[in-house]
Amino acid sequence: MIVWIVKNWRLLVVLAVVAGLVALGVAMRGAVDKPVIASAKADASAARGVTVAVQHARTVEHRVAASDAAASTDYQKGLEDGKTQLQGALDRLGAALRLRDQQLAAARAGNLSTAAAGPGRRDASAPADFLAAHGADAERLAAEADEVTRQLTACQVILANDRAVH
């Protein structure tokens, strides 16, 4: 056995060095890996927290965007409805004025029926005709006020959505 050791002394030295390095690596691994593993776990936990926060922010953003889009759609529909209502009001005003003019012409000609000349009706000409002169303007002014109300309502919805986020 001593003869074998003398013949293979280089091999034994290499094996001793390798065994020493392995022992050193195992000892260092425990010392280095524990902080690295702890740091990696902390990083993973922080990344999960960020992911959850980003998903929540996206959900809130989608909900606010949908609500804002609905408010915009309602506002646009209200504008179209307002134009239709204004045109209808102007048409009714024009029809009422034409009917009144026909009744006044009939009254002047003496062809006015007793129902048309009854209480609440006038068979004489008006000294100043506000309705004919400013009725359309009053209808347009009322339509503008309705439009401002629609704008305010849409703004309130958007502000409420923004405040709900923050």
Chain segment 100-137, per-residue pLDDT in tens: 888 878 777 777 665 555 555 555 555 557 677 788 88
Closest among 157, 57, 107 to 149, alpha carbons compared? 157
Q: With bands split at pLDDT 50, 70 and 90, how would you rate the model's confidence at 66?
A: very high
- Residue 80 near residue 150 (C-beta atoms within 8 A): no
pLDDT at 144 over 90: yes
Helix (H) or strand (E) holding 163: helix 130-165
pTM to 2 decimal places: 0.53
Q: Give the model's confidence band at 27: pLDDT under 50 very low, under 70 low, under 90 confident, else very high.
A: confident
In angstroms, the CA 160 to CA 154 distance is: 10
Cα 89 to Cα 92: distance, rounded to the nearest angstrom: 5
